[in-house]
Structure 1
Amino acid sequence: MALNPETCTRARLARDKRFDGCFYTAVKTTGIFCRPICPARAPLERNVEYFATAAEASAAGYRPCLRCRPDAAPGSPAWGLVSTTVQRALSLMRRDREAQSIEQLAERLGISSRYLRKLFTEHVGLSPLQVWQTERALFAFSLLRDTSLPVSEIAFASGFNSLRRFNGVFRDVYRRTPSEVRREEREGRASRVGSPESVRLYLSYRPPFDWPQLLSFFSARALLGVEQVIHGDTPAAGIYQRSFELEGQRGLLRVRNQPEKGRLEVEVIAGRSGAVLYQVREKLRRLFDLDADTEEIHRHLAADPLLARVLEQSPDVRLPGAWDPFEYALRAILGQQISVAAATTIAGRLVSAYGEAFVGPDGQEYRLFPGPEQLAEADFSSIGVTRTRAQTLRNFVAATRNGEIDFSEPELETWCQQMTALPGIGDWTAHYTAMRGLSMPDAFPASDLGVLIALGTGDKKATPKQALARAEDWRPWRAYAALLLWQSLKLRQTA
């Protein structure tokens, strides 16, 4: 992937946090690659080369720096520059704890394994296996340094069902064994506080990051018993909490912001937390849109005068995602043609009626959002929806169970076709679930009332056709533009 050496040089010499995770500096004389913010003495330019991703640097024979820790860097926006098929493949590789064979991955994408290898070679310069191994070794390193989990549990959490294979891959990437890294960590500082039932993860992001705005967004939509925003002394001190079930493990997670370190602290409490850590990390990165290329999105959308005015007030634009796409699709169907507050109330009734209760580690009762199997026989008559809406919900659950609805990273057009083929689901719901439930950056609910009011003149709303025409200039970030349009209505009310 092409990089601008002059930009990289200025960024690394200034230790500019905005470029953290955007590229890596490899030092030829030491064989080590670093983040742009590495506190070590900057090497001479003639001794360095630049890579867009940690996987590329590792494949070139460099090992990760133990001081700046590339494992802790935000996700690379370089992946967003590759082909759509490769992006979908990368997302699928990260969704599950265990690795998939190239044949399995290609089948899920509907292409041949030979063509998938060709795409990775052409767009990434690496094989899918090289990317998977490097990313999982970096994740394992973070667990070795930040938790007290046993090495065997870390190997399992990182997707390796063989300790021997884990040791081999880790040694190839770090030039030392996992046990050596753990021993060095214990010698360097006191061992981490924690247990396999309670583990802390750290998720880095590039500034700016408007944590209070994200918390406000989720607070207005929090489901009783499932989600909670715990407000602190200041908006920045708030906590996001939710219940979950992954890999048969039920638990809680709590997320706090550490702005001085440019990261989120995540406390995961589950019976065997190691089995779910990788999936928790990936879900939270999407939920809070931590890997957004905010600089590029801001630059692109600010070309529109209306969006530029909003960006002046809110320079950080992130797309709030969803913990689970099925959960969010159900909520979007419930939210058709009613307010956010009303939709949240009805979704809370759905959880109360069909979600399974469990006692958390703090002794309080929590609920799990029901999945397709729990809702297979539900008639939804008790949650306060019309008979037509109840039938739409039943149709959606049935379509999910029989495979008509595919959540495994479909393309935007394919997703919308799947959704609108079901009676009672229109274009707004399809695009809104793509936007939030699947984190598709170019989804755009053109018929949304707020969007049409924001784009209108005077008391006259825009038409969906006019909205789509104007949104052409916002591609591929139309979902972010929709968020800014909604924010513009709030700014208009306070003006």
Structure 2
Amino acid sequence: MHEDVERCARAVRSRDARFDGWFFTAVLTTGIYCRPSCPARTPHPRNMRFYPSAAAAQRAGFRACKRCRPDASPGSPEWNHRADVVARAMRLIAEGVVDREGVSGLAARLGYSVRQLERQVRAELGAGPLALARAQRAQTARLLVETTALPMGDVAFAAGFSSIRAFNETVREVFAVSPTGLRERAARGHAPAGTGTLSLRLPFRAPLCPDNLFGHLAATAVPGVEEWRDGAYRRTLRLPGGPAIVALSPRPDHVACTLTLTDLRDLPAAISRCRWTLDLDADPVAVDDLLRADPLMAPLVERAPGRRVPRCADGAEMAVRAVLGQQVSTAAARTHAARLATAHGEPVDDPAGGLSRLFPRPEALVAPQPGPALPAARRATLAALAEALASGELDLGPGADRQEARARLAALPGVGAWTVDTIAMRALGDPDAFLPTDLGVRRAAQGLGLPATPAALARRSAAWRPWRAYAVQYLWSTSDHEINRLPGTTGEAPVMEEVPA
């Protein structure tokens, strides 16, 4: 989009927040770069330059605006809904793969040579993987400087810098202020958090409907691994540096996020997984505009615009839970998953006392072991899935090839179309995944006057492409099922009996 100068200039003139993260505006006369919605005076078009990433703007010599903080804008929705190598690379960079494994490790994960990957990423984003990772390190450093009382040396190490000098130089170059200056500016009015605990604000593109998003996560929460408490969805995370606990609460203009980390170097990965779980980088206006064009879907969109797809922080976990949830109620799926977590999940210490386990690794589920009472066929499916995940034959992580993952899932015994699309929607983030055989979807379709048979409904759903996963959320919203409302609130009519675990 950054190459469409007139469109970008219009977005900047109207301060349109929908385009935050899509591109960045650099101002030649000031030497700074901003998000499109920056409230500062709009520069003359001849003084504006547009870049596809913060890293590209930094590489061109511009520094971040202190007023609109462009590094804190929502991420581009392109990297979530696209499935090409550049989008997969961006998801892995957000997970901190370059900092941990280098560009060679990133390329190996994607099945490309370093040279091929560099060329493709640079062509689209104006900067290579190293520069993109550096921009992310700068953002991580700013968060740690502003929200914790950590010594600057510890901040530099936690943010992924190789030396204090590199940390100081990068912060000065990107933010035009020293790390100490950042902390002093942020300290006015609030005290920083203690070591290991961070309180953050996760931005999103409006509108956002929290009902089905948090309602689904709360209704399907696995006891010990997840919970809803005091208006927040809380869960354990398995991160490279150790276990973590996150609490996410919806707010009018952001999602409040509290993180308790074993290793502060896991901050980028933790933030990435939280944003992924809540689908915060989606473009709700684009989704809703397309679905609203269907007269049968339009009333659902008008009633509660901005629905997101509730995902899962770990793809392997979601796949296991989808198998456990085949043809059973939400309550039964939770019970099965809780028994599995109790039997095979690693213990976690939660200072608040509500969480006790990480969800089991696939390796722990390969051999037949004690766990939930399942039919023999379901146990065989679970074992085959665990084996494929543990061996690396099946990749459901942020850099996964969606089509390859779908094919490998479909080849497993006992994995049908409903399970494949559930995993594609909630683990792989496929925005076009659709569930025509789902009972709740079929009942909703029938109530709206849409075809109710799976084949006819699948054909009719072509009009909703490429956003059919969001159409599923709107169809489910016609039910009074608990997944459609925040705990403690009430909903409306018919009942949905089958939902993904």
Specify if TM > 0.5.
yes
1:24 to partner: Cα distance: 2.7
- Aligned position for 2:56: 56
- Aligned position for 1:268: 259
Aligned pairs (5 A) from 1:280-429: 280-362=270-352, 366-380=356-370, 382-408=371-397, 409-429=399-419
Q: How far apart, CA to CA, are the structure 1 residues paired with 2:402 and 2:463?
A: 18
1:13 to partner: Cα distance: 4.2
SS in 1 for 2:259: strand
- Aligned position for 1:27: 27
Asked if structure 2 preserves the Cα contact closer than 8 Å seen for 1:20 and 1:37, the reply is yes
- Aligned position for 1:157: 158
The match for 1:243 among 226, 229, 236 is 236
1:191 to partner: Cα distance: 6.5
Distance change in 2, residues 1:445/1:163 (3 Å):
farther
SS in 2 for 1:219: helix
1:388 to partner: Cα distance: 1.5
What one-letter code is carried by the residue in structure 2 that aligns with 1:227? E
Q: How far apart, CA to CA, are the structure 2 residues paired with 1:416 and 1:32?
A: 44
Asked if structure 1 preserves the Cα contact closer than 8 Å seen for 2:220 and 2:330, the reply is yes
Structure 1, residues 365-384: CA drift from partner, whole Å, max 9, x if none? Answer: 6222111233344424x412
SS in 1 for 2:250: strand
Asked if structure 1 preserves the Cα contact closer than 8 Å seen for 2:81 and 2:429, the reply is no
- Aligned position for 1:135: 136
SS in 1 for 2:477: helix
Aligned pairs (5 A) from 1:139-218: 139-186=140-187, 189=188, 192-218=191-217
- Aligned position for 1:37: 37
SS in 2 for 1:89: helix
Q: How far apart, CA to CA, are the structure 2 residues paired with 1:455 and 1:247?
A: 43
Q: How far apart, CA to CA, are the structure 2 residues paired with 1:55 and 1:481?
A: 34
1:299 to partner: Cα distance: 1.5
1:240 to partner: Cα distance: 1.2
1:443 to partner: Cα distance: 2.1
SS in 1 for 2:356: strand
SS in 2 for 1:493: coil
Asked if residue 478 in structure 1 is aligned to residue 468 in structure 2, the reply is yes
TM-score (norm. length: structure 1): 0.88
Q: How far apart, CA to CA, are the structure 1 residues paired with 2:422 and 2:479?
A: 18
Structure 1, residues 429-467: CA drift from partner, whole Å, max 9, x if none? Answer: 112111101222122233323333444489996343323
Asked if residue 253 in structure 1 is aligned to residue 246 in structure 2, the reply is yes
What one-letter code is carried by the residue in structure 2 that aligns with 1:473? A
Q: How far apart, CA to CA, are the structure 2 residues paired with 1:121 and 1:270?
A: 33
Uncovered stretches (5+) of structure 1, i.e. residues with no partner = 232-237
Asked if residue 465 in structure 1 is aligned to residue 464 in structure 2, the reply is no
- Aligned position for 1:103: 104
Q: How far apart, CA to CA, are the structure 1 residues paired with 2:91 and 2:7?
A: 28
Q: How far apart, CA to CA, are the structure 2 residues paired with 1:59 and 1:253?
A: 33
Asked if structure 1 preserves the Cα contact closer than 8 Å seen for 2:400 and 2:428, the reply is no
Q: Which stretch shows the higher mean deviation, 357-366 or 68-77? A: 357-366
- Aligned position for 1:228: 227
1:357 to partner: Cα distance: 3.2
SS in 2 for 1:195: coil
Aligned pairs (5 A) from 1:71-86: 71-79=71-79, 84-86=84-86
Asked if structure 1 preserves the Cα contact closer than 8 Å seen for 2:15 and 2:37, the reply is yes
Asked if structure 1 preserves the Cα contact closer than 8 Å seen for 2:431 and 2:470, the reply is yes
Q: How far apart, CA to CA, are the structure 2 residues paired with 1:28 and 1:454?
A: 53
Asked if structure 2 preserves the Cα contact closer than 8 Å seen for 1:38 and 1:67, the reply is yes
Structure 1, residues 227-278: CA drift from partner, whole Å, max 9, x if none? Answer: 11125xxxxxx2111123323433422222332xx22221112444x13221
Asked if structure 1 preserves the Cα contact closer than 8 Å seen for 2:51 and 2:126, the reply is no
What one-letter code is carried by the residue in structure 2 that aligns with 1:419? L
Distance change in 2, residues 1:467/1:150 (3 Å):
farther
Distance change in 2, residues 1:458/1:271 (3 Å):
closer
Q: How far apart, CA to CA, are the structure 2 residues paired with 1:473 and 1:3?
A: 29
Q: How far apart, CA to CA, are the structure 2 residues paired with 1:78 and 1:48?
A: 23
Asked if structure 2 preserves the Cα contact closer than 8 Å seen for 1:35 and 1:69, the reply is yes
Structure 1, residues 311-361: CA drift from partner, whole Å, max 9, x if none? Answer: 111211211110111111110000111122221122122222222334422
Distance change in 2, residues 1:197/1:112 (3 Å):
closer
